[in-house]
Amino acid sequence: DAKTTQPNSMESNEEEPVHLPCNHSTISGTDYIHWYRQLPSQGPEYVIHGLTSNVNNRMASLAIAEDRKSSTLILHRATLRDAAVYYCILRDVNNAGNMLTFGGGTRLMVKP
Amino acid sequence: EAGVAQSPRYKIIEKRQSVAFWCNPISGHATLYWYQQILGQGPKLLIQFQNNGVVDDSQLPKDRFSAERLKGVDSTLKIQPAKLEDSAVYLCASSLGRGGVSRNTIYFGEGSWLTVV
């Protein structure tokens, strides 16, 4: 399975943008890039996913490098509620039921 | 839309005792997953079902863990006998199971917290 590399932790100030990086240098052409986050004492929740183009939704934006070897999750205005562990995960487009393989993720701390 | 339901939320047992966790996935979801999350680590897949059939149980410690999904809806995960290292959060998740990755967001329950003493 293609693996991802993320920083262990990051800090941000409330109401400022946050850029969470992810490296996936061995990504294959059929891998989607997914982001999930896990709030304290909760199960992981879906944030966003993309294949080649940048993506936006109500939670975040996903910027994907042209060579697809890295991506960045962008929270436009961090709130205290965004403090969580963020996981960058690759999923094969050809396998709809494919499980998620989690790494260690990035723990985001948001300061008031 | 109701989410993935799990129970019990918390359980404390002594080592060598048994415990069972129950999961009700989102209605219509064919794929069901059980994950184990040890404190400070990312979740690890234990078993994946497609309807009532097992797709992947390669990381399930079969000498003590068992899981079933008899009617292709609810699922039960059992541990017998429990060991200290089984202390973890057990997460159930479900997805549609067809139609491509973009239609197959995986939804997680809140988890069942197990402490073995």
For A87, the token pair is 């996981």
Instruction: pLDDT band for B1, please (50, 70, 90 cuts).
Output: low
- What average pLDDT does this structure show over A80-100? 86
Among A41, A44, A93, beta carbon nearest to B43:
A44
* Cross-chain residue pair B91–A87, CB shorter than 8 Å: no
In this complex, do A96 and B99 lie within 8 Å of one another by their Cβ atoms? yes
What does the pLDDT look like over B36-89, one tens digit per residue? 999 999 999 999 999 989 999 999 999 999 999 988 899 999 999 999 999 999
Residue B113's contacts (CB-CB under 8 Å, 6 or more residues apart) are B9, B10, B11, B89
Shortest CA gap A57–chain B (Å): 14
Residue B45 φ then ψ, to 5°:
-70, 130
Interface residue of B23, B91, B101 to substitute, partner A, most A CBs within 10 Å: B101
Cα–chain center distance at A53: 15
Find tokens 């304290």 and name the residue.
A40
- State chain B's mean pLDDT as an integer: 94
Task: Answer with the residue of higher pLDDT: A92 or A6.
Answer: A6
Quick one: tokens of A105?
């993720």
Chain A residue numbers touching B106 (CB-CB < 8 A)? 46, 99-100
When the pLDDT of each residue in chain A is averaged and rounded to a whole number, the result is 93
Hey, how many other C-beta atoms are within 10 angstroms of the C-beta on B84? Answer: 10
Q: Which residues of B touch A32 (CB under 8 A)?
A: 101-102
- Please write the tens of the pLDDT for every residue from A15-37: 999 999 999 999 998 899 999 99
Asked whether A63 and A48 are in contact (CB, 8 A), the reply is: no
Interface test with B, best of A98, A101, A106, A107 (most B CBs within 10 A): A98
- Rounded-to-integer distance, Cα A19 and Cα A21, Å: 6
* Contact residues for A99 (Cβ-Cβ < 8 A; gap 6+): B33, B45, B48, B56, B106
What percent of chain A lies above the pLDDT cut of 90?
Answer: 83
Residue B55 distance to chain A (closest CA, Å): 9
What span, in angstroms and rounded, lies between the C-alpha atoms of B99 and B89? 30
Assess contact for A16 and A112: CB atoms under 8 A. Answer: no
pLDDT of B97 = 80
Q: Between chains, do A97 and B50 touch, taking CB under 8 Å as contact?
A: yes
